[in-house]
Chains A and B, each alone.
Chain A
Amino acid sequence: MDFRVHADQEALQQGIRSFCEGRIAIDQLRELEEKDAFDRGLWNQLAEMGIFQLRLPETAGGLGLGCADAVLVFEELGRSLAPGPLVWSHLAAPWVDGAGTGEVVVGGLDLIGAAPQPILIEHWAHLDVLLLLRPEGVFRVDPKALEARPIATPLDPLTPVHHVESLPPGERLAEAAVAHRLWLEGAALVSGQLLGIAEAALELALDYAKKREQFGRAIGSFQAIQHLCADMFVRQEVARAGAYAAGATLDHPEVGDLERAVGSGKITAGDAAMKNARACIQIHGGMGYTWEVPAHYFLKRTWVLESIFGTGDEHAARIAERVESGT
């Protein structure tokens, strides 16, 4: 057993991080906010970095990597708040031609999770294909054939949504077992993104706590602020272990209980992102309540990610059935 992130993985992660820092820094995100959160050029660049075909075999043009590697990549995408249906296009790569190379933009809906109503489709305007994960299988739908009504004010300014009343059955791509597997993979990737958000929120809060002065000293010297930050750190480290274990268990299911490992990642990463985003707002004082400080983006994106591939509550209920002596 060697659970460390090894050198190749670190290099992979570092590559994605420097790309994101250069290409989707906060000012560029603000510009994207004006452009319906989608930039074809950026999408192609992400595809070139291999984000969508990361796990395709090399013979199919992919990088032949595993879920653990993918979690690390999505951690960086989460940290930088990269917009777009990233997880869906990644999951679709083996099933939809052109998804891996970025030519075809694939979005999706999780209908396995307990609360698919009302039906809100993320990034609808830019989708070429819509995947539906149903308990009975994976289905493909033409998004343009749907009657979709734009929501003028989405919660996350970088996740536009459209409302549709009903869904067609769609074309069946794969059976139930595949749908379930994709659901678990999606949960692990989203856990990576949530972990990245938890980390970014702590980083932003620390930056401010070291700089901002009140009562003649940095607010970061006040123990009340320090302990908020320490708790953020602990949640981040718990989420890291949880999300990484989800990825590692997907790669080698014999090491544990797959459902439990994935649920643990989703729950702990969701908690960390949510609570760290809130603490980040609190540590910024009045500035934290402004649109200008990006703390709110963390919280808003977290609500988007919390809602797919099983909410924390749903995973908790599933895990409860699997609590057993000797496991």
Chain B
Amino acid sequence: MDLRYSESDEKFRAELRAWLREAVASHGSPPPHHDWPARHAYDTGWQRKLYDAGYAGIHWPREYGGRDASPTEQLVYYEEIARANAPYVGINFVGLLHGGPTLIVEGTPEQKRRHVPYILRGEQTWCQGFSEPEAGSDLASLRARAERDGDDYVVNGHKMWTSYAQVADYCELLVRTDPDAPKHKGITWLIMPMDLPGIEIRPLKTIAGEGEFSELFLENVRIPVENRVGAENDGWRVTNVTLRFERGAAFASEMYQLREHLAEIKAVAGRVTRHDATAWDDAALRREVGHLQAELDALWAMVKLSVSEASETGVPGVGSAAVKLFYTELAQRISDVAMRVLGRAGLSRSDVAELPNGRFLEKMLMSLNLTIAAGTSQIQRNIISERILGLPRHR
């Protein structure tokens, strides 16, 4: 139970911090959300900078160009990225956090050669075509159909909620190859190039008013058989590899970022007025902010505990469902406080009265998807009660 970082970790931190100071300043501020070409350039450009400096694929094996950082160094990395307010993975998130890692574990040598180095350099972006209108939490009930025709699979189906589809070069696509087998046994994992004929992308307008995710309509899309990852009908196993990466340390940087957000909320509360005092003069608000900070500190300690466990086992601790559940609900509670501090200024999504409304509201709206994406809170509770606590299955 020792929280002291080693000398080599501190050295890593100092170097990274110095590099970030310069790199973040020279990269400029992020483009507006609706400007997709600019976002693509901004996020992939940042990835290239990381690559050139030796910080790309912090958790990737060295033989694939990654840094193979120890779990503790990864933690330092997430802390520093958040502290420097540096861009995080952005539109590269699927490729970097789970697409690439899945190929490293499950892909053929040829698949690795064609994708892995490009993902790392920010030259290939990926999206995830898992969910469908009828297959969300119950992902294994997916229906998109793939039929073998010579050296191709011919795919027909409808995918939902595909984040960043409009800027992706490739898609992690789940299809049904055996409709007669039990639902977990007839699924196949394919690499779909997004420029194939027959793919139609229809952006969906989110709560935030943006087209962050899309529907994909697939009509007779011919995907070469060589793009299959793992065996035919063995896609559910591969999917679990992908999901394990997705649910790993992916949130760490955003978690740490919340601390900065809370500090900023406090600063704003000291500036907004309520009658003849400031919002921060309200003891009830101060107590609530203190309570949230206590929970954030414990959350980060929880991450440290699971990172320490991962140092031995190599996989994120069983606690990750608990971390996800706690973090996502905490983020929403913090956003609630931000809104109450803004008061009427919260009616505007653009900054007014020299307040950071724009960013605060953005965060608040985004926080609402945290408890839905990557396994809803209810699904996390099911996982905890059945797999960790051993309660009888309810079905």
**Interface of A with B (CB < 8 Å)?**
1-6, 9, 68-69, 72, 206, 209-210, 217-218, 220-223, 225-227, 229-231, 233-234, 237-242, 244-245, 247-249, 251-252, 254-256, 260-261, 263-265, 267-268, 312-313, 315-327
A204 to chain B, nearest CB (A): 13
Residues of B within 8 A of A242 (CB): 294, 297-298, 301
- Are A229 and B391 also in contact (CB < 8 A) when A4-B1, A317-B290, A320-B289 are? yes
Tell me if B98 is interfacial: C-beta within 8 Å of chain A.
no
Q: Are B298 and A323 in contact (CB under 8 A)?
A: no
B2 within 8 A of A: yes
Instruction: Name 8 extra pairs, CB < 8 A, besides A1-B304, A322-B293.
Output: A1-B75, A2-B2, A68-B1, A238-B322, A247-B1, A319-B293, A321-B290, A323-B289
Mask for B286-319, Cβ within 8 A of A = 1, else 0? 1111110111011101101101110110000001
Q: Answer whether A221 and B2 are a contact pair too, CB < 8 Å, given A234-B325, A264-B298, A316-B288.
A: no
Q: Which residues of chain A come closer than 8 Å to B382, judged between CB atoms?
A: 223, 226, 230
Task: Give the shortest distance, in Å, between A240 (CB) and chain B (any CB).
Answer: 7
For A264, list chain B residues within 8 Å (CB).
Answer: 293-295, 297-298, 301
Evaluate contact between B293 and A249: CB separation under 8 angstroms.
no
Judging by beta carbons under 8 Å apart, are A248 and B286 in contact? no
Q: Give the complex CA separation of A249 and B382 in angstroms.
A: 34
| CB <8 Å contact, A221 and B1 | no
Q: Are A234 and B4 in contact (CB under 8 A)?
A: no
19 CB-based A-B contacts, threshold 8 Å = A2-B308, A68-B2, A69-B1, A206-B389, A218-B391, A230-B382, A234-B322, A241-B301, A244-B1, A248-B1, A265-B298, A267-B294, A268-B294, A312-B291, A317-B286, A320-B293, A321-B286, A323-B263, A324-B263
CA distance A307 to B316 in the complex (A): 37
With a cutoff of 8 Å between Cβ atoms, the chain B residues found around residue A237 in the complex are 302, 319, 322, 326
Partner of A268, one of B3, B295, B392: B295
Known interface pairs A230-B384, A317-B286; A4-B301 also in contact (CB < 8 Å):
no
In the complex, A11 Cα to B3 Cα: how many Å?
A: 20
Task: Give CA–CA (A5, B308) in the complex, Å.
Answer: 10
The 3 closest A-B pairs by CB, nearest first: A316-B290, A242-B298, A320-B290
Most chain A beta-carbon neighbours within 10 Å: one of B2, B266, B301: B301
B319 to chain A: closest residue by CB:
A237
Contacts of A247 in B (CB 8 A): 1
Cβ-based interface call for B259 (8 A): yes
B3 close to A1 (CB less than 8 A): yes
Do A1 and B2 touch across chains, with their CB atoms under 8 A apart?
yes
Asked if B297 contacts A3 (CB within 8 A), the reply is no
What secondary structure prevails in chain B residues at the interface with A? Answer: helix
B299 to A317, Cβ gap below 8 A?
no
Bound CA span A233–B259, Å? 24
Cβ-neighbour of A323 out of B293, B385, B390 (below 8 A): B293
A237 to B319, CA, bound (A): 8
Are A245 and B301 in contact, CB atoms less than 8 angstroms apart? Answer: yes
B149 within 8 A of A: no
- B341: A residues at CB distance < 8 A: none
B-to-A contact residues, CB < 8 Å: 1-6, 9, 72, 75, 83, 259-260, 262-264, 266-267, 283, 286-291, 293-295, 297-299, 301-302, 304-305, 307-309, 311-312, 319, 322, 325-326, 378, 380-382, 384-386, 388-394
Interchain nearest-CB distance for B85 vs A (Å): 10
The smallest C-beta distance from A6 to any residue of chain B, in angstroms, reads 7
B394 touches A320 (CB 8 A): no
Once the chains are docked, how many angstroms separate the CA of A226 from the CA of B326? 16
Q: Could you say which residues of chain B place their CB within 8 Å of the CB of A217?
A: 392
CB-based contact A316/B294 at 8 Å? yes
A260 to B296: give the CA distance in the assembly, Å. 11
Q: Do A241 and B298 have beta carbons less than 8 Å apart?
A: yes
User: Once the chains bind, are A238 and B290 in contact (CB under 8 Å)?
Assistant: no
Chain B residues within 8 Å of A222, by CB: 394
Closest CB of chain A to B321's CB: distance in Å? 8
CB-defined contacts of A6 to chain B, threshold 8 Å: 1
- Cβ of A3 and Cβ of B304 under 8 Å apart? yes
Let me know if A244 and B301 touch, CB within 8 A. Answer: yes
In the bound assembly, the distance between CA atoms of A222 and B381 in angstroms comes to 12
**How many Å from the CB of B393 to the closest CB on chain A?**
7
Take A3-B301, A226-B385 as given contacts and tell me if A313 and B287 are in contact as well, using a CB distance cutoff of 8 Å: yes
Residues of B within 8 A of A316 (CB): 286-291, 294
Residues of A contacting B388 in the complex (Cβ-Cβ under 8 angstroms) = 233
A223 nearest CB neighbor, chain B only: B394
Question: With contacts A221-B393, A325-B264 known, is A320 near B1, CB below 8 A?
Answer: no
B260 and A325: CB pair below 8 A? yes
A166 to nearest B CB, angstroms? 29
CA distance A243 to B82 in the complex (A): 25
- Determine the distance from Cα of A241 to Cα of B298 in the docked complex, in whole angstroms: 6
Contact of A241 among B2, B83, B262, B305 (CB under 8 A): B305
A64 to chain B, nearest CB (A): 16
The distance in angstroms between the C-alpha atoms of A314 and B312, with both chains bound, is 38
